[in-house]
Chains A and B, each alone.
Chain A
Amino acid sequence: MSSRERRPRLPAARFLLACVLLWLAGAGCSGSLPPPVPPVRERAAAWNRHGLAAEARGDRDEAIVAFGEALKLNRSIEDGTGTATALVNLARIHRFKGDLPLAKEKIDAATLILPPDSPLFPETAFEKAKIGLASGNLPTAKEWAFRAVDAEKGDAAGRMLNLLARVLFLEGKGDEALGRAEAALAANRKSGVRGEEANSLRLLGDIAAARRDRTNARYLYAAALSIDKDLAKSRKIADDLRALGAVAAAGEDTGGALAFYTRAYDVSINGGDRREAAEALLEMARLYEKTGAPDKAKSAMTEREKLLIAIEEK
């Protein structure tokens, strides 16, 4: 075999090596970059992020300022989605702060802007339903919860169903609420949204307790408590414990009920939730009274008074 016939092997190897290097370079560096964002939109997004961060650390006044800035910037460029996002966020924060008229004003403005096929519509409808529920307006809450359920096709579907189920439960439509809550539980388990899974379980527990099915209620509340403890949600842990206390009290297990309410009080007071702590103390006082311990009942009521005064002063 002559040298000329053997020669092609080397260039082929080099070509292969070059191809591999090119492929590696392409895989590493040639990923598609997001298109550049105009500065005003970038600033509006930055304010929005700032608001989200402020809310996450509990600084609601700062969050309102930040979302207000985002709203102004989005309005200055007629960005409908950005404007609606800022309005929904403002509505939610005002609701958290208990300022329902302002929350309603913001959410109504958002619903006027958004078309029903907007990806933001389910969240807007959800917030509108939540504000309706917080205001005691169950028909509005139900109407918008239905809209939210119809519009949401993603991972938040379980949350929307939970809300609808709660509204139906409050309206006294137990069977319908049960169906929706079970659907919510299945959806939340499927999408892996554990916080909402616990909400579904708690709601199912409420429905079972209302039907005097205490065994099932206890099981469901305990399951919700387990998830909430995993997620370290202090307020919800206290809710679950109070619900378990109520089930125990309904079953004449006064000692068990006192133990649950005492745990709920401990969780709430250490979690900084004085109103819920006061609620637990009220139940504890009733139970002490029932067990013939008026001194302890009086002491619990005195402590409760102190907490309520502190809340008022704040």
Chain B
Amino acid sequence: MKREQDPKFRHLETVVGAFLIAALAAVVSMVVVIGMEKDLFAEKYHLRFRTESGSGFTQGMPVKLSGFRIGRIKKISLDEQAKVVVRMQIDRKYRKWIRADSIATLLKEGFVGDSVLNISVGSPGSPMLPDDDFIPFTEEKGLNELAREFSDSVKSVLLEVRGTVAYINDPKGDIKQTLANIRQLSASLEETRRHADALLLTTTDGLGRVGPVMDNLATALDNVGRRLPFLLDRMEGTLSNTERISLEVRKAAEKAAPRVPHLLGGAEELVEDTDDVVKGMKRMWPFRKHIPPANERGIVPGDSHE
């Protein structure tokens, strides 16, 4: 009874009531704010796509259109053909941009960023997609796959080149044998030339001695005539091989070249970002005390006895 008379408790019910109302209002406004933030109150519709593998997808993963988040992945399930069906929940207000020719793509934000699902903007002439309809899906190749693809294409070319080089270098191979034959042939020709010289010098000794030399020459020419087509065939084969290899190399390079600046640009950006992060960390309290001081004067150390 004494408490009730205390003036401090005179408006207790009013204060408690006001406090409760304020707390309730705060909770409601928090729910509203979070709901608006998470688009809980926005009108939604669903789209689906099929893919071979569910790796890279997670429930709640953002769905983007032109870089803007327009929804998220609601459900990932397996269908009767063991294919993965991904169901997306998308704000209805973006429906006008997603048409029958829109394509969903799984891509990475930067080299080390999170994966996002991107939907391309459809052409205005195509019809809008109804609720729960299927949309085509493609997966952007990752860095590893690009590198593997490039490596595979170059590997085959390198194997060809290695085979060709081994073929050329093989001492028992056609090329070496052909070269040996040419050497032998040129030696024969040299011998023949010497004989011819001798013949010319000894012409005065009698034309009768020309006969054997001419025979030699004829033999040598026969040799040339017999071996030359074979040699030319071989050379032609080698040239066509080389031509094919260079064509494949060019194709591989052309395929890879457009990606190289992109990869380099990305890598450079990544290095710069890392540099910024490291610089920032170096200045932070827990780290800056453990980083050894730099050469204060920035001078190459000198020594009085060099």
Within 8 A of B (CB), among A114-166: 119-120, 123, 126-127, 130, 156, 159-160, 162-163, 166
Q: A28-B285, A29-B285, A199-B305 are in contact. Are A49 and B297 (CB under 8 A)?
A: no
B305 touches A203 (CB 8 A): yes
A135 to chain B, nearest CB (A): 14
**Chain B, interface size: which category?**
10 to 19
| Chain B, interface SS category | loop
Within 8 A of A (CB), among B251-306: 283, 285-286, 288, 294-295, 297-300, 302-306
Q: A31-B285, A52-B295, A85-B297 are in contact. Are A202 and B302 (CB under 8 A)?
A: no
B302 touches A127 (CB 8 A): yes
Task: Please tell me which one of the listed residues B294, B300, B302, B305 contacts residue A236 in the complex, with CB atoms under 8 A apart.
Answer: B305
Residues of B within 8 A of A55 (CB): 300
Residues of B within 8 A of A160 (CB): 304
Interface segment among A87-95, A214-222, A270-278: the answer is A87-95
B175 to chain A, nearest CB (A): 37
B273 to chain A, nearest CB (A): 16
A171 to chain B, nearest CB (A): 16
Q: How many A-B residue pairs have CB under 8 A?
A: 61
Task: Closest A residue to B295 by CB, please name it.
Answer: A52
Q: When chains A and B are docked, how far (Å) is the Cα of A130 from the Cα of B299?
A: 15
Residues of B within 8 A of A10 (CB): none
A85 touches B305 (CB 8 A): no
Q: A88-B299, A120-B297 are in contact. Are A196 and B285 (CB under 8 A)?
A: no
A72 to chain B, nearest CB (A): 16
Task: Closest A residue to B302 by CB, please name it.
Answer: A126
Residues of A within 8 A of B294 (CB): 49
Task: Please tell me which one of the listed residues A34, A85, A96, A130 contacts residue B298 in the complex, with CB atoms under 8 A apart.
Answer: A85
Residues of A within 8 A of B288 (CB): 31
A123 touches B305 (CB 8 A): no
For the complex with contacts A49-B298, A52-B298, A89-B300, 20 further pairs of A-B residues with Cβ separation under 8 Å are A28-B286, A33-B283, A52-B300, A63-B300, A85-B297, A85-B298, A88-B299, A89-B298, A92-B299, A92-B300, A120-B299, A126-B302, A130-B302, A159-B304, A160-B304, A166-B305, A195-B303, A199-B305, A236-B305, A239-B305
Interface residues of B (CB under 8 A from A): 283, 285-286, 288, 294-295, 297-300, 302-306
Could you write out 11 A-B pairs with CB less than 8 Å apart?
Answer: A33-B283, A52-B298, A55-B300, A63-B300, A89-B298, A89-B299, A119-B297, A120-B299, A126-B302, A130-B306, A166-B304
